[in-house]
Structure 1
């Protein structure tokens, strides 16, 4: 199952704890069609049908079923660049 780094958990928490956002809000990762694996990340109020739910350190990430297969052995990391843009990265688990 996909795991999150401390940085990723903190950033997901910050994104999903904004005023007016549902308590069930999280980030949703979907697989993009194409020859190389690619993923899209968006805010979501709740899980979609068949989504895998990853909860870690208070952060919630919904992973579309087709993306979950590709991300099963991965770690999601995140950082904020100097302009304030959030960047996500994937690494293999231990």
Structure 2
């Protein structure tokens, strides 16, 4: 399942708080056009039926079925660039050491 870094959790909470969509709100990752291969990120008042819900340090992320498969066992990181734009990045999670 997707995990969030501390930075990602903080930025997700900030983005959702700025939209004032409610206490159950989160960021929703979905794939609107399967041919494009890219995921769309939007704020959402609540998960859509069938979404996987990831919560981390008060941040909520909703993943549609395609996003949940694509982001399984990944780490979501985020930062804000010099122009104030949010940049998300996906990092493979570290494999457990034996």
Same fold (TM over 0.5): yes
In structure 2, the residue corresponding to 1:66 is in which secondary structure?
helix
Aligned-residue CA RMSD (Å): 1.4
TM (norm. structure 2) is: 0.88
Higher strand share: 1
The number of aligned residues is 93
Rounded to whole Å, the distance in 2 between the matches of 1:51 and 1:87 is 23
| Pair member with larger Rg | 2
| Displacement of 1:19 | 6.7
| Displacement of 1:66 | 1.6
Give the match for residue 33 of structure 1. 34
Matched, 1:23 2:48: no
Rounded to whole Å, the distance in 2 between the matches of 1:19 and 1:72 is 27
| Displacement of 1:20 | 3.3
Rounded to whole Å, the distance in 2 between the matches of 1:26 and 1:70 is 19
Rounded to whole Å, the distance in 2 between the matches of 1:29 and 1:40 is 6
Give the match for residue 2 of structure 1. 2
Rounded to whole Å, the distance in 2 between the matches of 1:74 and 1:85 is 22
TM (norm. structure 1) is: 0.91
Rounded to whole Å, the distance in 2 between the matches of 1:66 and 1:82 is 31
